[in-house]
Structure 1
Amino acid sequence: MKKWVAIFLLGLGLRVVGHESRPGYLEMRETRPDTYEVVWKVPALGDRRLSIHLEFPEGTQVLAGPAASFSDNAYFERQRISRRGGLVGTSVTVNGLAATQTDALVRVIGLDGTTQTTRATPEHPRFAIEETPSSLRLAWTYTVIGGEHILLGMDHLLFVSALVLLVKSRRKLIGTITAFTGAHSLTLAAATLGWVHVPGPPVEACIALSIVFVAAEVLQRGTGRKGLTERWPWCVAFSFGLLHGLGFAGALSEVGLPPQAIPIALLFFNVGVELGQLAFIGAILLGIAFLRKIPLRWPSWGWRVAPYAIGCVAAFWVVERTVAFIP
């Protein structure tokens, strides 16, 4: 029976991460009283953009633009707008979100440098522009972004799934996940703050390779041989955690950090990542407890399904991501 727990874990991971999270990004910077420079970034594929559009409050005038362009699988729209009395106290709507599975990160920067950071979601596409942005709202926004990134990131979840399959002792599992958490927290902070600069595509390819490695370790353990990860799970998890942290930093760079509240945003993005990771591991452990109660006999080869599936998907990513950055 235990051998088929692996199949359940893989199915759970694929169910959770079936869609990639690619948020839109809106920045409105007040350059002089009642006048704003607007940058609107929308997920795109080639020259096809996601059909989401901005609706400004009544009385808003367009002074320049919009100027549109495509770059790095994103659509960019820049314009200058003005409204008598400014935008504080009004609401802006992101139309079309209800038909998507994405959201939009919003940043409004006033003349005095105060920054409001919030999210527009399919359930709540309209957001209000506040006079005094709340630190609590900022913390919540980045916690949600971090949680969504880990729960919608198939590569990170497959790596965690493989660790759970490999490390059988509850004590060792806690230590292994703690080492992974500590390591990716370090590189997430270092890369986000600009202390470390590593190109994104090679990092993504190496992350996929780390999943192949751990999946192979699961297969090796099943044949009665102790691999490197089983002998030193904390060391392996810490080493690969440093790599995965660079991947998290790449996701965070997509939405950016508010200049006046970088520590808060960085801290709570990481909190969101950890909460999402713990929720996923909790779901796996609940699934194990449930399957243990099912009185069925499983085939002797059943345990191989999950590591082979995880390894094959990750191997495909290695090739795909390597080809992407080779000239």
Structure 2
Amino acid sequence: MAAALLLWLSLAGGLSAHALEPGFLDIRETAPDQFLLIWKVPQVSGTPMEITARLPDSCTQPRPPQVSFAQSAFITSWQTDCPGGLTGQPITIEGLDATRTDVLVRLEPLTGARQTLRMTPGAASAAFAVEPSLGQVVQTYLYLGIDHILVGIDHLLFVLALVLLVPGRWALLKTVTAFTLAHSITLSLATLGFLTLPGPPVEAVIALSITFLATELLRLRRGEQVLSARKPWLVAFTFGLLHGLGFAGALAETGLPPSDIPAALLMFNIGVELGQILFIAVVLAVIWLVRRILDRMPEGARIAALGQLTVIYAIGGVSAYWLLERVAGFFA
């Protein structure tokens, strides 16, 4: 287990702590069969990700696009005419299959309900329904929440550190519940506009929270009394407030319309929790299996101790790298 986790963490150190934020295509009908498109493309090393939004062949582009850069994404806007409208016709994100991100496509018609589609590398083409349902919003943001937690390596490292820190299932349940409650509070407040903090400092403190837990794990192994071991729920709740702001940043990137916020916020949060529970279940299952194997080996206890120490140092090293990288970004 230690070798596998160390390899994963080492690779993670060369990547962004988050998966790329989702791309976003906003389509607003300004007149019958006439649409304004705003296309937000994530940046990759200072350049736009190589993905292109392709509308049905019936659409035209009467004026050249306008390109700008804002909020770590390249934004293009243009007008187009689509005789017959856009419902029931495929929209494709070309090049998405070669990425590791999603794209949300939202349609705001002159009449009728707004719709949101979620494109993925494995399903880069979809069509708006003629008669949309609330179920579309529910499914879209539920899956987005699951995706965001499962590929948000920094959030997962924090949860992994909690699992290693807290002995006993009941204590772990209380600690994870405190973390869940805390990030649900700030996620909701930030999404509803009651709480606003700049993203870079929040991301830096999230990295600091992981480094702190790694340090606490090392101190605990030396037999010291540490706050995170005495009151892990308090530490989880405190840092969970900051992690919630990180989740809110990802949700805000989708450009939620006011009418979608209640359902989208609820389902995104549920998706995050489902992904978190799945991750914890996998980690506990791996730990149980490795312990069963090592218990049958003469040097099993020593190997287990060395493996855990290796994982702790890997968590601390990767998070310290992220911390330095994010703080350096303040001055870039």
Map 1:206-221 onto structure 2 (within 5 A): 206-221=205-220
- The answer as to 2:143 corresponding to 1:144 is yes
**Residue of structure 2 equivalent to 1:90:** 89
Distance 1:15 1:46, change over 3 A: closer
The answer to whether the Cα contact below 8 Å between 2:10 and 2:314 also exists between their aligned partners in 1 is no
Once the two structures are superposed, residues 171-202 of structure 1 have per-residue CA deviations (whole angstroms, 9 ceiling, x without a partner) of 00000000000000000000111101111111
Q: Kindly provide the amino acid, as one letter, of the partner of residue 309 in structure 2.
A: R
Q: Kindly provide the amino acid, as one letter, of the partner of residue 214 in structure 1.
A: L
Distance 1:193 1:239, change over 3 A: same
Task: Give distance in 1, aligned partners of 2:58 and 2:10.
Answer: 47
The answer to whether the Cα contact below 8 Å between 2:10 and 2:318 also exists between their aligned partners in 1 is no
Distance 1:44 1:184, change over 3 A: same
Segments of 5+ residues of structure 2 without an aligned counterpart are: none
- The answer as to 2:317 corresponding to 1:318 is no
After superposing the two structures, state which structure 1 stretch, 157-166 or 126-135, moved more.
Answer: 126-135
| CA deviation after TM superposition for structure 1 residue 7, in Å | 5.6
The answer to whether the Cα contact below 8 Å between 2:22 and 2:101 also exists between their aligned partners in 1 is yes
The answer to whether the Cα contact below 8 Å between 2:96 and 2:120 also exists between their aligned partners in 1 is yes
Distance 1:179 1:9, change over 3 A: farther
SS at match of 1:280: helix
Count of residue pairs the alignment pairs up = 323
CA RMSD, Structure 1 to Structure 2 (Å): 2.1
Instruction: Give % identity.
Output: 47
Once the two structures are superposed, residues 2-28 of structure 1 have per-residue CA deviations (whole angstroms, 9 ceiling, x without a partner) of xxx666555566789977233211110
Map 1:168-247 onto structure 2 (within 5 A): 168-247=167-246
Task: Give distance in 2, aligned partners of 1:146 and 1:16.
Answer: 20
Distance 1:52 1:157, change over 3 A: same
TM-score, normalised by the number of residues in structure 1: 0.92
- The answer as to 2:272 corresponding to 1:273 is yes
After superposing the two structures, state which structure 1 stretch, 153-162 or 17-26, moved more.
Answer: 17-26
TM-score, normalised by the number of residues in structure 2: 0.91
| CA deviation after TM superposition for structure 1 residue 251, in Å | 1.1
Task: Give distance in 2, aligned partners of 1:169 and 1:229.
Answer: 14
- The answer as to 2:44 corresponding to 1:39 is no
SS at match of 2:129: coil
The answer to whether the Cα contact below 8 Å between 1:39 and 1:76 also exists between their aligned partners in 2 is yes
The answer to whether the Cα contact below 8 Å between 2:90 and 2:126 also exists between their aligned partners in 1 is yes
Once the two structures are superposed, residues 139-162 of structure 1 have per-residue CA deviations (whole angstroms, 9 ceiling, x without a partner) of 111011111111111110110000
SS at match of 1:85: coil
SS at match of 1:59: coil
SS at match of 1:80: strand
**Residue of structure 1 equivalent to 2:115:** 116
Task: Give distance in 1, aligned partners of 2:8 and 2:164.
Answer: 13
| CA deviation after TM superposition for structure 1 residue 69, in Å | 2.8
**Residue of structure 1 equivalent to 2:47:** 48
Once the two structures are superposed, residues 289-326 of structure 1 have per-residue CA deviations (whole angstroms, 9 ceiling, x without a partner) of 11022133234544321111111111121121112124
The answer to whether the Cα contact below 8 Å between 1:45 and 1:74 also exists between their aligned partners in 2 is no
| CA deviation after TM superposition for structure 1 residue 113, in Å | 6.2
**Residue of structure 1 equivalent to 2:309:** 304
The answer to whether the Cα contact below 8 Å between 2:176 and 2:236 also exists between their aligned partners in 1 is yes
Segments of 5+ residues of structure 1 without an aligned counterpart are: none
Task: Give distance in 2, aligned partners of 1:14 and 1:30.
Answer: 47
The answer to whether the Cα contact below 8 Å between 1:6 and 1:303 also exists between their aligned partners in 2 is yes
Q: 4+ runs of 1 displaced by more than 4 Å?
A: 5-19
